[in-house]
Amino acid sequence: MENASKALIIAGAILLAILIIALGVYIFNQAKSSTNMDELTNQQVQAHNNTFENYEGSINGTQAKALIDAIRNNNQSMPDLGDISVTSNVVSMNNEKDNSKLADLKNAFETTSKYTVKITAYETTEGQYKGYVKAISINK
């Protein structure tokens, strides 16, 4: 009788140990997947910003027109992100987000002229869009 009760206690301890190990593996996997999501989010931000950072510096008018198209596409396709505002001395613009005014700016660019592009702001608020490009200046 004593041997049977000891065997039951040992079996219960083994089952409890297996349960604790399984719980530890589950918690580890949950923590690992949330870390992967942070890395994915950082990659998405970098991929989005590369679209605009590639134009940073001195560009010609054709590239400036392509940049305006990219900004307009962004403003239309990602309304939750918030529009990228544009400042320019080519056409009087200060933090303009309206697509019709951006079209006017695009038409004002001369293909043979040189322009300087600078990203002037990134999203700083905490949340889903932290780090995304928020404002760009294009000057002659």
Query: pLDDT tens-digit profile of 83-125?
Result: 888 888 887 766 666 777 888 888 888 888 899 999 988 887 7
pLDDT at 27 over 60: yes
Where are the domains positioned within the chain?
3-139
DSSP per-residue codes, the chain? -HHHHHHHHHHHHHHHHHHHHHHHHHHHHHHHHHHHHHHHHHHHHHHHHHHHHTT-EEEEHHHHHHHHHHHHHHHHH-TTT-PPEEEETTTTEEEE--HHHHHHHHHH--TTSEEEEEEEEE--SSSTTTT-EEEEEEE-
- Predicted pLDDT of residue 38: 53
- Predicted pLDDT of residue 33: 61
